[in-house]
Amino acid sequence: MKLGRVQYVEDIRTVWANEAKDFTPWLAENLNTLGAELGIDIELITTEYGIGSFSLDIYARDISTGYTVVIENQLEATDHSHLGQLITYASGADAKIIIWISRDVREEHRKAIDWLNQVSNEETHFFAVEIQAITIDGSLPAPIFKVKASPNEWGKAQKAISSGGSGAKTPKQLYYHEFFTKFLTELKQRKPHFTNAKSVGYDSWFSFGSGKTGFNYSIAFRGGNRFSCELYIDMNDKSQNKAKFEELTHYKSEVTDALGELSWERLDEKRACRIAAYMDTTSDDSMIDWAIMTLIAFKDTFTKYL
């Protein structure tokens, strides 16, 4: 058997010569590659996002939880200046997921990120990630992300359960966390590549990317003991959302043939719109089974119309 030889690119700037002009635009178009390594489905909002007199490299969000994501890039070894910028961006954007990408994570900065994860609440997550590139027998360079520091998810979850005061989780929030944890485990068994997500929050809903910004598939507990699977439309602009909703109604007959009768909710009083299937709440196993089958059918059906 003949195998290729892997070689690391010694000078990362031969791949991305300029951080702002080359690496950040590349990463903005390849957030799914980073997300797969971190266990997050990341959706771009914008690049070079202004925070005071500073400019954040990438401003994004975690599709599954809706948490704000900030990403600071550095094609050099980590330094104190960028650590300060990272914290400034995190506070200025009210971020829950903070990612520092660099060529080399110095040990003192890895320890600093670990400490930030230890002292922060269960919803705040810091990552330090190295970016490298390899070739195989002289091939085109391929990127490799190496996570050097990340939150201890088990420890965060235990903190949420045991914390007192305003940080304590209600029984309903703990139920949502347990339910969606079981749901995510079952989904990954049936459809391994459906999502990058590895953990869940404590909200009554959980979302997945469609591959197009502004369109997500969600599973949610709704009022009146209803449980839903839905296409949620929110491009951060009410008029665009309503226009896209109206466009989708042109395919209502085809969608109904594939998915059955749905609830087409324009939601005139709100910015977003949704198209949903509902079932009455019942046993967890029944809801999880229905949700996975419906979620997959939604994605298979709506992809061609988005």
Mean pLDDT score, 128-146: 95
61 and 183 belong to one structural domain: no
CA atoms of 143 and 27, how far apart (whole Å): 10
What are 161-172's pLDDT values in tens digits?
555 444 678 999
On whether residue 164 sits in a domain, the answer given is no
Residue 256 banded pLDDT, cuts 50, 70, 90: very high
First-to-last C-alpha distance (Å) of the chain: 45
The CA distance from 255 to 146, in Å, is 42
CATH assignment of the domain containing 269: 3.30.1460
Whole-number Å distance between alpha carbons of 272 and 236: 8
Task: Note whether 148 and 173 are same-domain residues.
Answer: no
Cβ proximity of 70 and 98 under 8 Å: yes
| Residue ranges making up the domain that contains 47 | 6-152
Residue 281, in any domain of the structure? yes
Contact 296, 191 (CB under 8 A): yes
User: In the chain, how many domains are there?
Assistant: 2
Q: How confident is the model at residue 138 (pLDDT cuts 50, 70, 90)?
A: confident
Q: What is this structure's pTM?
A: 0.83
Facing residues of 263 across strands?
276
Residues 141 and 175 in one domain: no
- Residue 159: pLDDT over 70: no
Pair 61, 189 in one domain: no
Q: Clarify whether residues 176 and 41 are in a common domain.
A: no
Mean pLDDT for the chain? 92
Are 41 and 62 in contact, with CB atoms under 8 Å apart? yes
Domain shared by 121 and 196, yes or no: no
pLDDT tops 70 at residue 57: yes
pLDDT at 3: 87
Q: Which of 190-199, 206-215, 272-281 ranks highest by mean pLDDT? A: 272-281
pLDDT (tens digit, 9 = 90+) per residue, 20-39? 999 999 999 999 999 999 99
Do the domain assignments include residue 158?
A: no
Q: Which residue's entry shows tokens 């050097």?
A: 148
Which CATH number belongs to the domain containing residue 39 in this structure? 3.40.1350.10
- Residue 42 shares a structural domain with residue 15: yes
**Residue 157 resides in a domain:** no
CB-based contacts of 255: which residues, under 8 Å, 6+ apart?
248, 262, 275, 301, 302, 305
Look at residue 227 and tell me whether its pLDDT is greater than 50: yes
Neighbours of 166 (CB within 10 A): 5
Residue 245: predicted pLDDT: 97
| Contact criterion met (CB below 8 Å) for 24 and 56 | no
101 found inside a domain: yes
Q: Is residue 48 part of a domain?
A: yes
**Same domain (yes/no): 143, 181:** no
Asked, for residue 162, whether it belongs to a domain, the answer is no
Say yes or no: 108 and 240 in one domain. no
Confidence of residue 153 (pLDDT cuts 50, 70, 90): low
Tell whether the model's pLDDT for residue 41 goes beyond 70.
yes
Q: Are residues 293 and 209 both part of a single domain?
A: yes
Q: What percent of the chain has pLDDT over 90?
A: 84
Same structural domain for residues 65 and 196? no
| 70 and 11 belong to one structural domain | yes
Q: How deeply is 123 buried, as exposed, middle or buried, from its count of CB atoms within 10 A (0-12, 13-18, 19+)?
A: middle
